[in-house]
Amino acid sequence: MKKALWLIAGIGIGFLVAHQFNQTKSGKEFFAEFDKKAKEFSDSLVDGYREREAELRSAIADAGDKVSKIAK
């Protein structure tokens, strides 16, 4: 229980410090750059996921075609 309280206190203090830092010019620049990089990262993950999904769907379609030809 004591560890959970320390965790909650740490999160709260971290939030307050980040909020205060965001009020400064350099803080705004830092968080803008951080947001930009996080968005780029998440966009690349989504693109990779969609690309792999398309590859798998194509492979499944090819396998289905081969099974249909064999069944005839």
Q: Could you give the CA distance from residue 40 to residue 35 in angstroms, rounded to a whole number? A: 9
The answer to whether the pTM exceeds 0.75 is: no
| DSSP output for the chain | -HHHHHHHHHHHHHHHHHHHHHTSHHHHHHHHHHHHHHHHHHHHHHHHHHHHHHHHHHHHHHHHHHHHHHH-
Average pLDDT over residues 10-27: 96
Average pLDDT over residues 13-39: 96
Is the pLDDT at 8 greater than 90? The verdict is yes
What is the tens place of the pLDDT at every residue in 51-60? 999 999 999 9
Is the pLDDT at 72 greater than 80? The verdict is no
The pLDDT score that the predictor gives to residue 35 is: 97
